[in-house]
Amino acid sequence: KSVIAFIEDPDGYKFELIERGPTPEPLCQVMLRVGDLDRAIKFYEKAFGMELLRRKDNPQYKYTIAMMGYGPEDKNAVLELTYNYGVKEYDKGNAYAQVDI
């Protein structure tokens, strides 16, 4: 029941927007692609006090996600960390709805 749209900013960067049911937060989810999922989880736990809400491996699509946040996903904004199998780094400045940290 999600509505998905793609937009492009004036600099040519593309973003995916997903409309979901009503939530208390105007921004409910941000996705970052990471090269080392376990290291990224530890970083967000230590640096921001986030907790790992859930982790899901998707071998058929060759990626694993970890949802990080401060409480239940349906009531708080969450950070989705996505690890694509075999990808250790991303090109800086040439991202598709990604932020390279």
CATH number of the domain bearing residue 39: 3.10.180.10
- Dist. CA 48–CA 71, nearest whole Å: 13
- The domain in which residue 64 lies consists of 25-91
Please report the pLDDT score of residue 100 as a whole number: 41
- Does 14 reside within a domain? no
| pTM, rounded to two decimals | 0.72
pLDDT > 70? residue 94 = no
**How would residue 95 be classed by pLDDT, with cut points 50, 70 and 90?**
very low
Averaged pLDDT score across all residues of the chain: 81
- Does 76 reside within a domain? yes
- Does 20 reside within a domain? no
How far is residue 95 from each of residues 4, 22, 27, 98, measured CA to CA in Å?
A: 19, 29, 21, 5
Number of domain units in the chain: 1
Please report the pLDDT score of residue 74 as a whole number: 80
- Does 69 reside within a domain? yes
Task: Say which residue, 30 or 83, is predicted with more confidence.
Answer: 83
Q: Catalytic site residues?
A: 16
- Does 75 reside within a domain? yes
- Does 59 reside within a domain? yes
Please report the pLDDT score of residue 17 as a whole number: 74
